[in-house]
């Protein structure tokens, strides 16, 4: 069975030195649909995302099935943010390599 871009992105980041940092919070809520308007009717699910951190730096990354987000947090505020489509694995690896090289 062939690995997904999501799995390959996580494996690549771990290979480059990123470590597990838990996961983001998933959520489930009702949204308004054309059939249910004006009342909420459909249940929408936002799945949790894998979170990794680069030891010795402020950089963290969340990997989802569609997007991969690199960011830094200072005083609980995002100070840098870069987003890639998860299927763009060469771009993700290149950016992660540049971060790891700065360590």
- pLDDT, one tens digit per residue, over 68-93 is 999 998 888 999 999 999 999 999 99
pLDDT of residue 30: 78
Strands 59-63 and 50-53, sheet pairing: antiparallel
Inter-residue contact 53 to 19 (CB < 8 Å): yes
Which tokens hold the place of 58?
A: 């402020």
Number of compact structural domains in the chain = 1
Contact 99, 15 (CB under 8 A): no
| Domain boundaries, position 80 | 5-101
Between CA 11 and CA 5 the distance in angstroms is 10
Please confirm whether the linkage preceding 38 is cis (ω < 30° from 0).
yes
Q: What pTM was estimated for this model as a whole?
A: 0.81
pLDDT of amino acid 16: 94
């Amino acid at each position: 069975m062939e690995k997904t871009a999501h799995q390959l992105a996580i494996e690549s980041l771990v290979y480059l030195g990123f470590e597990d940092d838990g996961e983001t919070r998933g959520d489930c809520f009702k949204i308004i649909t054309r059939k249910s308007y004006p009342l909420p009717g459909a249940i929408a699910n936002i799945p949790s995302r894998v979170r990794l951190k680069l030891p010795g730096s402020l950089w963290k990354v969340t990997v989802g099935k569609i997007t991969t987000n690199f960011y830094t947090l200072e005083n609980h505020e995002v100070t840098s943010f870069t987003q890639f489509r998860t299927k763009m694995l060469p771009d993700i690896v290149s950016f992660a390599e540049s971060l790891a090289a700065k360590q």
